[in-house]
Amino acid sequence: MKLLAILKHEFRLVLPPTIFFFIAFVLIATTQRLILREYGVPLTGYGAALIGALLVGKVVLLTDKLPFVNKFPERPLLYNVTWKSSIYFIATFLFRYLEHLIPLLREHKNFMVANQHLLAEIIWPHFWLIQMWLSVLFFLYSAIHELVRVVGREEIIRMFIGVQARSS
């Protein structure tokens, strides 16, 4: 029974960021499809948005547990929002870069050669377009998360939908 309670607790923690990032990644995937449709560039489906949302949701929760993430709890919310958004931006930049690099590393068996191919082959405007989307979305997520931290989940629910939240 204790394991079930732990799993339920973890699920409830990961659900809000996963839903947020699923919607965000569907918007990004739709943007990619609309932009690249006329060039006939194939893209992954919306299943990738769900997998990405699950991964980012869990990474966000794990990152939030690091001691240096909540660096400015007593200052205006903008400090923590900007700080956390910057951490998430750097992490996604590195993750996305490695995501492109690893297949080339397997092919070329040499980090420097694989990196040179990546730098030459990556479509930088596309890469930066997605990074810009992610930076805005991480800022928005961090702002909402910090607001909930300060005001409280129940009060936010009451303010948005006008009903009392069920206690956990």
Helices (H), the chain: 2-36, 47-64, 77-108, 111-121, 124-151, 153-161
Where are the domains positioned within the chain? 1-65, 67-168
* Helices 2-36 and 47-64, axial angle in degrees (round to 10): 130
Question: Mean pLDDT across the chain, nearest whole number?
Answer: 83
Predicted TM-score of the model (pTM): 0.74
The reported pLDDT for the residue numbered 56 is: 78
pLDDT tens string 113-122: 998 988 888 8
How far is Cα 157 from Cα 129, in angstroms, rounded to an integer? 33
The burial class, CB within 10 Å (0-12 / 13-18 / 19+), for 139 is: middle
pLDDT tens string 13-63: 888 888 888 888 888 888 777 877 777 776 666 777 788 788 777 777 777
If you compute the radius of gyration of the chain from its CA atoms, what whole number of angstroms results? Answer: 19
How far is Cα 163 from Cα 168, in angstroms, rounded to an integer? 15
